[in-house]
Chain A
Amino acid sequence: MSVVTLTIDNQQVTVPAGTTVLEAARKAGVNIPTLCYLKGINEVGSCRICVVEANKSIQTACVHPVSEGMVVRTNTKRVRELRKGIFELIIANHNADCTICARNLNCELQRLGKELGVETTPYLKSYPEEEEIVSPTIVRDNSRCINCGRCVRVCDKVQEAGVLAFNGRSDKMFVSTFYDAPLEELSCINCGQCIVNCPVGALKEKDQTAEVWAVLNDPAKYVIVQTAPAVRAALGEEFGMPIGTPVTGKMAAALRRLGFKKVFDTDFAADVTIMEEGTELLGRVEKGGVLPMITSCSPGWIKFCEHNYPDLLDNLSTCKSPQNMMGALLKSHYAEMAGINPDDIVVVSVMPCTAKKFEVGREELEVDGRRDVDISITTRELAKMIKQADIDFTKLPDEKFDEFYGDSTGAAVIFGVTGGVMEAALRTLADILSGKDLQNVEYHDVRGLEGVREAEIEVKEGLKLKVALAHGGSNIKKLMDQVRSGKAPYHFIEVMACPGGCIMGGGQPIVSDQVRSEIDVAVERAKALYSEDEKAAEYRKSHQNPSVKRLYDEYLKEPNGHLSHKLLHTHYQKRG
């Protein structure tokens, strides 16, 4: 590989040819402010904040390639004045009522203003009237949008949902949708990646914390909470804890203090999912059912499939997602066990996900006319509630989930990372097929962050299971096009809508591009989950979960049985 040597602020740097000035500067430890830039996703040089002098001419560092002997100055008077001028223009067209913005204290524009030392703008306020455009999951507000284009690119290139676009031009250019239709009319998969990639507060989830507070304050309601695996890997970030700190115990403690009657773990249902999905897979393999079978835990993926691969809906596992399995069981088995009228039960789920808000409203998931889950909130919304209750999260003791529906295995907790569902399934399938309690439970072939992965796993002598995984819309399309062509040799495929899986879900704490340039967030959050798996020394396989065993023995009788089908399985709809 050819290299290039250049000078940045009098420091010599040698980098591969083709590197941008920004990347070279970061390598040299020189900070250049950015705003629209998102590595690998949005490299368009449109906000212009990253201007530098390269060989005395003004260039945008994020897109300008280095060249041999180039002299870069990042901090001249000319550069500083230009950045200030650009910032003043941006802020004039931004509804900067920061204190009542969802992104207060976690806003890249706010930080930038501080960094540039700009405290006023000479320009007239020119942004449109504040108007929240609300979908069942995502709320948009163009008064705060700075037209950086990150959401547009993520929606179009990373997720390939192609819903958000820059429509109109000049002062009439806004991020909007096809004929300004509501998101729910379009092929939006509710993944929320637009939110977590927005530098400001122009995009946020539909906030349902008030609804949760309302039921918590209603003495007639028996409010149960369940938390998805990935939440514990990231919630601490909202309270200043390092990325990758697992906070399972503190989270359980906080939920109890918020007033939930029972604090349960979606991980329990993840173990149930493995029982149901594993059985379904074996059935399809043995009886010649539709293969490859594809996981159905990710509601973003389900909607993606319904829109883009309506011809392949039969490949989807009929299993509900763990969130909904949990809800269905809580309102049936648990209600019976605890002697509570299911109509008094309110199930709140805390998810790393915005698509779950849509999923809970799907009518086809209802059992006896009852929704499995009543309210789904994101990791961020939970953090907000904890803050509203003035709970000092970092000082909380570690507590455990409540019994039975709080019991889980190491297999369940890794559901939150790409490859996790697959690995959990393999652990159980290998045991069932071999009839042994296998000691080697870690399947490193299916781990990692590669967008599309495949592996061949010998689950018993003579039976090799061919599996594949994809996460993130563009990767999913690559794999699914192969499935559609009939050339996919796989038995089982795991698909997660968000790149990285649920740990990087659209409901997770938002990490600025600046931090992301230093820390691989997905890697750190994944580590948190794998460490929880390793800590669960006693049970690391779903079928070993004693409470799950009891559930089947005493209630469901058998996976894929009659009651399972009523409570835990579903069907899908073509959306074209």
Chain B
Amino acid sequence: MEGVVQNLVAEACAKHGNDSSALLPVLLELQERSGKHYVSREIAEEVARALEVTPGQVFEVVTYFAALSDKPRGKYLIQICESTACSVVGYNALLDWFKEELGLEVGQTDADGLFTLATTHCIGACDVAPAVRINNEVFGNLTREKVRELISERRAG
């Protein structure tokens, strides 16, 4: 198991340059590959070793940046924008739809580890507000029907 982590980290470090400047891209990539949108303590320790920074620095970065997480999240990270433009056109309704469809409150992950419902600040999709980001895709101009579709498509895999 340890070897797997080592290889994974070594690969990411090799891709982004083996120095502390590569910390952010390395962590983003490893988080992406975790399948759970998080950086585990084990991974963080290995990254610190590989990039020759203190474990403390890795954790500082993981906890500072909103895109990174030290705790596991769902396979699909659903982030509803609650910023200015989306608030003006009523992101609340969108949030309620997702809550109801998923049966989750903000910050919760479902039992299967499939969905995490979260809110986020501006994702630069104000022209299609209210907008939602699911992993790296952005969806806007949503209706309840489309929300249902987005979820069922992902449930189906």
Contacts and interface: CB of A to CB of B under 8 A. Distances in A.
Q: Which of A163, A177, A179: most chain B Cβ within 10 A?
A: A179
A165 B44 contact: no
Nearest to A155: B56
Contacts of A178: 41, 44, 55-56, 58-59
Given A167-B63, A168-B63, A169-B64, A179 B41 contact: yes
Contacts of A186: 55
Contacts of A164: 56
A162 interface: yes
A459 B15 CA distance: 56
Contact of A156 (B54, B59, B64): B54
Contacts of B57: 162, 165
A163 B55 CA distance: 8
Interface string B51-80: 000111111100110000010000000000
A169 B60 CA distance: 9
B70 A165 contact: no
Given A167-B60, A179-B59, A162 B54 contact: yes
A168 B66 CA distance: 9
Contacts of A156: 54, 56
A166 interface: yes
A166 B60 contact: yes
Contacts of A166: 60
Interface residues of A, number: 14
Contacts of A169: 63-64
Interface string A158-200: 0000111111110000000111010000100000000000000
A289 to B, nearest CB: 32
A167 B54 contact: no
- Secondary structure of the B contact surface, majority rule: helix
B53 to A, nearest CB: 9
A178 B57 CA distance: 8
Nearest to A164: B56
A166 B64 CA distance: 9
A181 B59 CA distance: 11
B50 to A, nearest CB: 15
Contacts of A162: 54-57
A151 B128 CA distance: 46
Given A168-B63, A169-B64, A179-B70, A163 B44 contact: no
Given A156-B54, A179-B70, A165 B60 contact: yes
Contacts of B70: 179
B63 A177 contact: no
Contacts of B44: 178-179
A164 B59 CA distance: 11
Nearest to B60: A165
Interface string B23-55: 000000000000000000100100000000011
A51 B123 CA distance: 36
A399 B85 CA distance: 77
A181 B45 CA distance: 13
Given A179-B41, A179-B44, A179-B59, A168 B64 contact: yes
A179 B40 CA distance: 9
A167 B54 CA distance: 14
Nearest to B49: A576
Contacts of B41: 178-179, 181
A166 B63 CA distance: 9
Contacts of B63: 167-169
A163 B70 CA distance: 17
Contacts of A179: 41, 44, 59, 70
A303 to B, nearest CB: 16
Contacts of B54: 156, 162
Nearest to B41: A179
Nearest to A168: B63
A474 to B, nearest CB: 13
Nearest to A186: B55
A167 B44 CA distance: 14
A548 B68 CA distance: 61
A60 B3 CA distance: 49
A156 B59 CA distance: 14
A142 B140 CA distance: 41
A367 B123 CA distance: 64
B46 to A, nearest CB: 13
Contacts of A177: 56, 59
Contacts of B55: 162, 178, 186
A10 to B, nearest CB: 43
Nearest to B55: A178
Interface of B: 41, 44, 54-60, 63-64, 70
6 contacts: A163-B56, A167-B59, A167-B64, A178-B58, A179-B41, A186-B55
Interface of A: 156, 162-169, 177-179, 181, 186
Given A167-B64, A179-B59, 7 more contacts: A156-B56, A162-B54, A162-B57, A165-B60, A168-B64, A178-B41, A178-B55
Ranked nearest first, the 5 interchain pairs of A and B with the lowest CB-CB distance are A162-B54, A167-B63, A165-B56, A178-B55, A179-B41
